[in-house]
Structure 1
Amino acid sequence: MMLVQRRILPWRRIRSARSFSSTPARALIRSIEDLPDRIKPSYVQRPPATLLSLQWPSPPRNILITKKKRTPGITESLVEYTTHLSTTYPSINIILPPESAAEVHEQLSFPVYTYKEPRPDSTPQHLSDKVDLVCTLGGDGTILRASSLFSHSATVPPVLSFAMGTIGFLGEWKFKEYKRAFREVYMSGASDAYAKLEVPEHLHSTTDPRTPASTSDPLDQPLSYNDIRGKAMGSNRTARILLRNRLRVGVFGPSGQRINSTHSDGDTYALNEVIVHRGSSPHLKIVDVYVGGRFLTEGVADGMIISSPTGSTAYSLSSGGSIVHPLVPSLLLTPICPRSLSFRPLVLPAETPITLRLGEKNRGREVEVSIDGKRISGGMGVGMEVRVVGEEVRTADGDWVGGVPSIVRGVNGLEEREEDHWVGGLNALLKFNYPFGDQDADGAGR
């Protein structure tokens, strides 16, 4: 019996020592601050095409991926997508919002990066300085949330959106196309710039532990820097960019102090719209409307919408506003359920400033203000103003710098039909001029 006890004790001491091991765990979620600085692409106009060409000076490295929340199927797609990017492309760093990073990092064999949640009326620190490309998995709301992460930045990275929501006007690609879509974006650039790439030291090895042993899909084959050299798609096969103009929004108190942002540059950029509405108040609101600095009218309505061309198919459309092509530089002023039926929606030049001021005649003393679905804390009291103007997207030298660069598909390489994706989307999603009732093919339903 004593012999048995002597054999057990050493084993128990070893087990105890292991349980208190100080070996650090592998860091699967890292700070975005550790990433290299952002690579900014250029956008080139190619006459007579209206879309722009995306040209990278070197391959993108830092990829931000946002997804629709609380949707298990999309979460599975996120894991599939990030795994493909990590195993196929060299030097790719995956950035996820904090909630998504915490949800999926244990299912991944590689580290992901994230950022700290920002304060209200602010944006995540370092994000605009680090992100090269944004990918979205979801509907229009997911794209709006991704855009809002850069709502205080004058430049937004290109956005590659996969339509995985219900009805949406902004999603461009189907998720099943993600391998081809990403490769087109990744390889879009000038051949001479890619040909001069130097292989990073940590990628000199021909084997990568993350690489799958074998795959039948050529788009899953690991893409090395040697593969990239001299194999860019060329000037005629670059990814196409639809530059969506944003709104510059400022909310000011009666004394002129800004209340919509704590950010140093002040204005908030909105992709869709800014809305002044009565909220929970039972009374119509009286809003003084100024266009170009001149008084236009005293609007009595449930509220007012100022939208961009992109936002013309959102709340403005539901309130009777016009549908405006996203390439038309304009602002839309749309009343919400106005008392006077002669108060009709207006379409104005993008450079025309619009001011909405809550008048003294209001029975309710406050209205709510929301920018791309985000409510401004504190609401808007009597004498306060919302000032809106279209964003400048081109410099005096002709460089394209502003807006939200949305990556769209070309149509069979035909330059004259490049905008067909918008027309087709209008018919497919909105059922534009679609007849009421069941329409049989032989006309029996007439």
Structure 2
Amino acid sequence: MKTVGIIINTAKPHAGSVLGSLAEILKKEGVEFVAEDSAATILKAKSKVAQASTFATGVDLLVAMGGDGTLLRAARLVGNSGVPILGINIGGLGFLTGVGEDLMEEALRSVLQGKYRIEERMVLEAELPDGTALTALNDIVVGMGSSRRIVDMVAYVGEEYVASFSGDGLIVSTPTGSTAYSLAAGGPIVYPTFDSIIITPICPHALGLRPMVLSPQVTFAVQIESGDASIVADGQEVREIASKDKVSIHRAGHRLKLLRPLTASFYKILREKLKWGGWRE
């Protein structure tokens, strides 16, 4: 790897010192690196400043330092370029940013030596009524708008009617996002490298409405029957949608590449981060 891009959540504790350590490792390994404005300011003359478009075209690897929100922002920066992302957790939960700052040096040296695996993750795309589109690594949420009133919705798979219901909204998630908002709303845990579309209602006014898992080959659509609503991609991009608007959501045409240490285990992360079982430990 010749050039590494760096983005960081500078609001995290010790962000400056961890960023400095990363820069020193890359310098010792003879790897050129570029950073976004906030990171470059901390590093001063040690780094070139990169424009957002650089991370999709001018780097071989993007290192995202922060929490899961920072990694989701990195996913938006690389888009469909195929640039892999390595997440370094300097935040709280850090489910996606699986490498802790205490293991950063070891993990980074392993990556530079080619000792890693690439996990390709499914991405969702939502087509909006105005002809624009949103993409998401975790989830796309259709829910209450600015009025904060419940929304009446009709759901379809392809052209087939599925259900009508009122509620706060619904979460359409990828397997990667199944351990995020969808899980908190009662959705299932799905292994992150699977391909599927997970539908999880949010506070529906119906006792029988439960989450379901769809084939990744279908298109899921939701139409707003009454009330104002919003659509949110990965908690970062928000659009308002109106009554009678219909949003179609399907598997995107590209996948996101996440770099993982060879020893990384999804089940271990479940135990340590979400306290899933683990009583033997």
Please, which of 428, 438, 443 is the counterpart of residue 272 of structure 2? 428
Q: Does residue 1:405 correspond to 2:249, yes or no?
A: no
Report matched runs for 1:142-221 at 5 Å. 142-150=70-78, 153-188=79-114
Q: Distance in 2 between matches of 1:358 and 1:390?
A: 21
Q: Distance in 1 between matches of 2:229 and 2:145?
A: 7
Q: Distance in 2 between matches of 1:430 and 1:105?
A: 34
SS at match of 1:406: strand
CA deviation string 1:324-343 (max 9, x = no partner): 11122100011100000101
Q: Does residue 1:127 correspond to 2:55, yes or no?
A: yes
The alignment's TM-score, normalised by the length of structure 2, stands at 0.92
| CA distance 1:162–1:373, change in 2 (3 Å) | same
Residue 23 of structure 2 is matched in structure 1 by: 82
SS at match of 2:99: coil
Residue 247 of structure 2 is matched in structure 1 by: 386
Residue 50 of structure 2 is matched in structure 1 by: 114
Please, which of 189, 204, 221 is the counterpart of residue 355 of structure 1? 221
Shift of 1:74: 1.5
**Retained in 1: the 8 A contact 2:142–2:229?**
yes
**What is the one-letter code of the residue matched to 2:56?**
S
**Retained in 2: the 8 A contact 1:293–1:354?**
no
CA deviation string 1:95-141 (max 9, x = no partner): 21222223x143x4x342221xxxxxxxx334311121011222111
Q: Distance in 2 between matches of 1:160 and 1:136?
A: 6
Shift of 1:434: 7.0
| CA distance 1:155–1:293, change in 2 (3 Å) | farther
Shift of 1:177: 2.5
**What is the one-letter code of the residue matched to 1:429?**
K
Q: Distance in 2 between matches of 1:65 and 1:247?
A: 25
Structure with the larger RCO, 1 or 2 (CA within 8 Å, 6+ apart): 2
Shift of 1:428: 1.2
CA deviation string 1:151-186 (max 9, x = no partner): xx3233111112221112212222232233222222
Residue 69 of structure 1 is matched in structure 2 by: 10
Please, which of 145, 158, 168 is the counterpart of residue 292 of structure 1? 158
CA deviation string 1:380-429 (max 9, x = no partner): 0122222111134xxxxxxxxx3221122223xxxxxxxx7001111111
CA deviation string 1:48-74 (max 9, x = no partner): xxxxxxxxxxxx222111112312402
Q: Does residue 1:371 correspond to 2:223, yes or no?
A: no
Report matched runs for 1:234-383 at 5 Å. 238-252=115-129, 257-258=130-131, 260=132, 267-359=133-225, 362=226, 364=227, 366-377=228-239, 379-383=240-244
**What is the one-letter code of the residue matched to 1:112?**
K
Q: Across the two proteins, how many residue pairs are aligned to each other?
A: 280
**What is the one-letter code of the residue matched to 1:308?**
T
Q: Distance in 1 between matches of 2:9 and 2:55?
A: 19
Residue 101 of structure 1 is matched in structure 2 by: 40
**What is the one-letter code of the residue matched to 1:373?**
G
| CA distance 1:421–1:111, change in 2 (3 Å) | closer
**What is the one-letter code of the residue matched to 1:114?**
A
**Retained in 2: the 8 A contact 1:67–1:75?**
no
Bigger fraction of residues in strand:
2
**Retained in 2: the 8 A contact 1:368–1:375?**
no
**What is the one-letter code of the residue matched to 1:431?**
K
Unaligned runs of 5+ in 1: 1-59, 116-123, 189-237, 261-266, 393-401, 412-419, 436-440, 442-446
**Retained in 1: the 8 A contact 2:40–2:47?**
no
CA deviation string 1:41-94 (max 9, x = no partner): xxxxxxxxxxxxxxxxxxx222111112312402211022112212x133x332
**What is the one-letter code of the residue matched to 2:4?**
I
| CA distance 1:383–1:126, change in 2 (3 Å) | farther
| CA distance 1:81–1:279, change in 2 (3 Å) | same
Shift of 1:374: 2.0
Aligned sequence identity (%): 27
Unaligned runs of 5+ in 2: none
**What is the one-letter code of the residue matched to 2:273?**
L
**Retained in 1: the 8 A contact 2:12–2:66?**
no
- Superposed CA RMSD in Å reads 2.0
SS at match of 1:388: strand
Considering only CA atoms, is the larger Rg found in Structure 1 or Structure 2?
Answer: 1
**Retained in 2: the 8 A contact 1:272–1:314?**
yes
